[in-house]
Structure 1
Amino acid sequence: MRYTDVAIVGGGLAGSIAAAMLGRDGIAAILIDPHTVYPPELRCEKLGGEQLNLLRKTGLADATLRATTLDGEVWEARFGYVVARKPSDQHGVMYDTLVNTVRMQIPENVETIHAKTSEISSSAERQKLVLSNGEEISARLVVFANGLNVGLRQTLGIKRKVISACHSVTLGFNLEPVGRAAFDFPALTYWPKRASSRMAYLSIFPINGTMRANLMVYRDMTDPWLPAFKQAPERAMVAIMPGLENMMDAFRVSGPVKIRPADLCVTEGHIRPGMVLVGDAFSTSCPAAGTGTTKVFTDVERLCNVYIPQWLSTEGMGAEKIAAFYDDAEKKACEARCLAKAYHLRSLSTDNGLSWRAQRWARFILRLAQGTRLAIGRQFAGGSMPRRLAAKQAAHP
């Protein structure tokens, strides 16, 4: 039997950040995950905006961001027309690189055991874990950071409830120009023309010299459009986004097309003595809304910076202690924003009601106005769009 203060089940992004933060603060912790090196997986592929501020609160930002690629500027387009060129702080990174970079920051005082947790029993004092390699661990607190792996939690009566099945689908792939060295844009967000396309947007951004694409759509996994896309992705992209060729000229998809559906889920029966759920283990978010990492960073930062030090400073690990984390104002506000954004973006992208159509046009006009203002400022500063693309847009407005 090994004894520790905190046992972390799952070494993805949430679990690895928690292990690094607790180890840095001198808290006895053990990370349990079967992967010696985290494998490739289609999940978060860029960080930006408020996520950067949240990452800095974990104390892991500097080393983590060095493994990413900053785009610096993003072009926003619709109907094959660039409506805005904006400064951007988006940092592209493959998910496995992100997790493995965080893992490298876990201090030596945190032991990592490469196994699965097969059994767990809990009480208000200590929790017992039995691992697949036969080892046993006794911990004051168990942090569940094992994402969508619900089997172990179900044995404890913790239930997952799907509130929106296949809410969105992410398609991830690499793009490269044909007949030239690079695309004209440093990064591109392309918005759909019609709600009937059931598309949120196409995002193209750099990762280590490669242009990565994330296409966000709202379709059922039985939709024949998905296998058709995998078979002929270039043709499918041009069909769903009229005007895209005007932006990109000849291009090809290099490498495999990976597809990941995402359900929106919440957890019930989770307030238990001696155990806490973070990230996707507690609730999922919509990748199209871009809030998954925001939720993970918020959960782990609040848990490790605020609650675990408080909990360990007094005896016991009763359910009333655990409930304080779920009632945290910042966590609850983050959960509400992520859920609201997921539903709003889906309706904005697919609903053909008059109010939603008006909102889509209002967003387009706003972006066009912002882009025009930025373009005027850039002209005074001596910057301009590449001549070839400017000529094409003038010919095909």
Structure 2
Amino acid sequence: MRYTDIAIIGGGLAGSTAAAMLERAGIPAILIDPHRVYPPELRCEKLDGRQVDILRKTGLAEAVLRAATWDGSVWIARFGYLLDKKPSDQRGILYDTLVNTMRAEIRSDAGIVHAKATAISTTRERQKIALSNGEEISARLVVLANGLNIGLRHTLGIERRVISECHSITLGFDIAPLGRAKFDFPALTWYPERSRDRMAYLSLFPIDGTMRANLMVYRAVDDPWFRQLRQTPEQALLAMMPGLDRIAGSFKVTGQIRTRPADLYVSSGHRRPGVVLVGDAFATSCPAAGTGTNKVFTDVERLCNHYIPAWLSTEGMGEDKIAAFYGDPVKTACDAWSTAKAFHLRSLSTDNGVSWRARRWARFIVRAGEGALRQLSDEAGAPQYHGANATRILSGPALPWQHERKR
């Protein structure tokens, strides 16, 4: 039997971040995960400025930012028109690189056990975990960070309720320019032209010299369109996004196209002594909404910076302590925002009601206005931002009202 204060089951982003934070704080913790090196997986592939701000609170931001690729600015296209070239603070990083970077911050060899947790029993005082390698671990608190794996949660009576099955599907692939060394844009976000395409957006962004593509769609997993995309990817993309080649130039999809369907679910029966759930183990988010990393970093930062140190200062690990974390106002606000954004973006992308069509056009007009103002400011000699990645604004086809003005 090995004894520790905190046992973390699951070595993805949530678990690895928690383990690294607790080690920095001098709190005995053991991370349990079978992978010595976390394998490639289609999940978070970039961080935005808001996520980096939360990451800084963990004390681990510098290592992650060194491993990520900053884009500096992003071109915005909607309805086939290039609307803006705006400053950006996106950082591209593959999920396995992100997780392995976090793990590298765990300095102690004793801090990670490469095995699977096969059984768990809990009390108000100590928790016992049986491992696939025959070991047992006794801990004051178990942090369940094992994502979509529901086996251990069911043994504890923790259930999950699906609130939106196959809410969205993420496709990840690399894309390369044809006939030239690189794309003209540092990054590009393309919003759809037609609601019937059931598309949220296409995001192109750099990672280590490669242009990465994340395409977010709302389709059934057996939709024939996915077969078309794999067989003739360039044609399928241009059919969905006419004019993409006019802005991006000729291109070729390279490497494997990875697919990840996402169900939205929430946990129930989780307020139990000795166990706390974080990240996807507690509730999932929609990758298209881009809030999953916010939820992970918020959960782990609140738990490790605020609750675990306080809990360990007194005896026991009862349900009252655990409930305080689930009721944390910062966490609950982040969870509610994430769920609301998931449903709002899906309706904004696919709903044909009058109000949603009006919102889509309103967003188009706002984006176009922002781009036009940025262009005027730049032409007047007052650029909105500086640096090697600064670009001039708006090139490409004229907007609809510009055609009218020219006539």
> TM over 0.5, yes or no?
yes
1:272 equivalent in alignment to 2:276? no
**Rounded Cα–Cα distance in structure 1 between residues aligned with 2:347 and 2:110:** 45
Q: State the 4+ residue runs in structure 1 displaced beyond 6 angstroms.
A: none
Alpha-carbon distance between aligned partners in 1 of 2:215 and 2:146, rounded to the nearest angstrom: 26
For 2:271, what is the secondary structure of its paired residue? coil
Deviation per CA, 1:326-384, whole angstroms, max 9, x where unpaired?
Answer: 00000000000000000000000000000000000000000000011111122233886
SS in 1 for 2:257: strand
**Secondary structure of the equivalent of 1:253?**
strand
Q: Which residue of 1 aligns with 2:236?
A: 236
Q: Give, as a single letter, the amino acid of the residue that structure 2 aligns with 1:147.
A: G
Residue 191 of structure 1 is matched in structure 2 by: 191
Secondary structure of 1:123's counterpart equals coil
Change (3 A) 1:252 1:124: same
Match of 1:121 in 2: 121
Partner of 1:208: 208
Counterpart residue identity of residue 108, structure 2: E
Corresponding residue number in structure 2 for 1:37: 37
Q: CA–CA distance in 1 between the matches of 2:360 and 2:398? A: 24
- Partner of 2:314, secondary structure, is coil
CA distance in 2, matches of 1:338, 1:395: 33
1:299 match: 299
CA deviation vs aligned residue, 1:118-139 (integer Å, no higher than 9, x gap): 0100000000000000000000
Output one character per residue of 1:179-205: Cα deviation in whole Å (capped at 9) or x when no partner: 011111110000100111100000000
Asked whether the equivalents of residues 8 and 31 of structure 2 are also in contact (C-alpha less than 8 Å), the reply is: yes
Superimposed CA distance per residue, residues 53-98 of structure 1 (whole angstroms, 9 cap, x where no aligned partner)? 1000000001111000000000000233210111000000000000
Q: Is the 8 A contact 1:171 1:216 kept in 2?
A: yes
1:282 aligns with 2:282: yes
Q: Which amino acid aligns with 1:266?
A: V
TM-score, normalised to structure 1, is 0.97
* Aligned residues of 1:24 and 1:107 also touching (Cα < 8 A): no
* Unaligned 5+ runs, structure 2: 384-389
Give the TM-score normalised by the residue count of structure 2.
0.94
Alignment partner, residue 225 of structure 2: 225
Compute the displacement of 1:107 (Å).
3.0
Q: Secondary structure at the match of 1:83?
A: strand
Is the contact between residue 23 and residue 109 of structure 1 (CA under 8 Å) also seen in structure 2? no
User: Is contact 1:167–1:286 with CA below 8 Å preserved after alignment?
Assistant: yes
Tell me how far apart the structure 2 counterparts of residues 380 and 294 of structure 1 sit (CA, whole Å). Answer: 38
Counterpart CA distance in 1 for 2:399 and 2:194 is 22
TM superposition shift of 1:109: 7.2
SS in 2 for 1:31: strand
Q: Secondary structure at the match of 1:254?
A: strand
Once the two structures are superposed, residues 27-77 of structure 1 have per-residue CA deviations (whole angstroms, 9 ceiling, x without a partner) of 011110000000000000000121011000000001111000000000000
| C-alpha contact (below 8 Å) 1:166/1:261 kept by paired residues | yes
Q: Distance in 2 between matches of 1:352 and 1:44?
A: 29
Q: Please give the secondary structure, in 2, of the residue aligned with 1:101.
A: helix
Deviation at 1:155, TM superposition (A): 1.1
Would the aligned equivalents of 1:29 and 1:110 in 2 still touch at CA under 8 Å? no
* Compared CA separation, residues 297 and 110, structure 1 to 2 (3 A): farther
In 1, the alpha carbon distance for the partners of 2:322 and 2:392 equals: 54
CA distance in 2, matches of 1:194, 1:80: 10
Q: Deviations over 1:163-185 (max 9, x none)?
A: 10000000100000100111111
Give the distance between the partners of 2:39 and 2:314, measured in 1 at CA.
Answer: 38
Determine what percentage of the aligned residue pairs are the same residue.
66
Higher alpha-carbon deviation: 77-86 or 185-194: 77-86
Query: In structure 2, what is the equivalent of residue 48 of structure 1?
Result: 48
Deviation at 1:160, TM superposition (A): 1.3
Would you say 1:325 and 2:325 are equivalent positions? yes
* Aligned position for 2:387: none
Figure out how many residues of one structure are paired with residues of the other and give that number. Answer: 394
Which residue does 1:157 correspond to in 2?
157
Q: State the alpha-carbon separation in 1 of the partners of residues 117 and 87 from structure 2.
A: 45
**1:353 matched residue in structure 2:** 353
Of the structure 1 ranges 74-83 and 263-272, higher mean CA displacement relative to structure 2 is found in: 74-83
2:17: which partner in 1?
Answer: 17
Q: Give me the whole-angstrom Cα distance separating, in 1, the residues matched to 2:106 and 2:263.
A: 31
Distance 1:52 1:110 in 2: 29
Aligned residue number for residue 170 of structure 1: 170
1:242: Cα distance to partner? 1.4
Contact 1:19/1:110 (<8 A) preserved = no
Unaligned runs of 5+ in 1: none
Q: Distance in 2 between matches of 1:159 and 1:282?
A: 10
Kept after mapping to 2: 8 A contact 1:28/1:110: no
CA–CA distance in structure 2, aligned partners of residues 264 and 123 of structure 1: 30
Matched residue SS, 1:267:
strand
Report what 1:180 is aligned to: 180
Q: Work out the CA distance in 2 between the residues paired with 1:251 and 1:395.
A: 24
Query: Helix, strand or coil for the counterpart of 1:366?
Result: helix
SS in 2 for 1:266: strand
Query: Aligned AA for 1:121?
Result: S
Contact 2:378 2:392 in 1 (8 A): no
Contact 2:273 2:318 in 1 (8 A): yes
The 5-angstrom pairing of residues 54-69 of structure 1 reads 54-69=54-69
CA RMSD in angstroms, aligned pairs only:
1.5
> Comparing 172-181 with 374-383, which one deviates more in the overlay?
374-383
Residues 153 and 375 (structure 1 numbering): CA distance in 2 closer, same or farther, change over 3 Å? same
Select between 76-85 and 312-321 the one with higher mean Cα deviation: 76-85
2:380 alignment partner, SS class:
helix
